[in-house]
Amino acid sequence: VYFDYEIEHESFSFILEDDGVGISSEPNGSANKGIGNMQRRANKINCQLAVERIQPHGTYIRLIGKIPQKHSN
């Protein structure tokens, strides 16, 4: 498992890779439902999520977003 992150100015990115069995290519598989849930949650916090298969096996996940700024009252 590999994990990396970067914080730059008002943005962040998280990268997670593994060399396991990877993501199912079946469109209705349970892994794809989980990825759909992750995508909805990323969208809810205004982030971009990328999930890719690594050949011959493994998974690459990247989350990119803006760091929310606190507003003074």
Instruction: Please say if the pLDDT value at position 5 is more than 90.
Output: yes
Q: How many residues does the chain have?
A: 73
pTM: 0.77
Cα 21 to Cα 33: distance, rounded to the nearest angstrom = 17
To which H or E segment does residue 55 belong?
none
- pLDDT, tens digit (0-9, with 9 covering 90-100), for 8-55: 989 999 999 998 876 766 656 565 688 899 999 999 999 999 999 888
Confidence of residue 71 (pLDDT cuts 50, 70, 90): confident
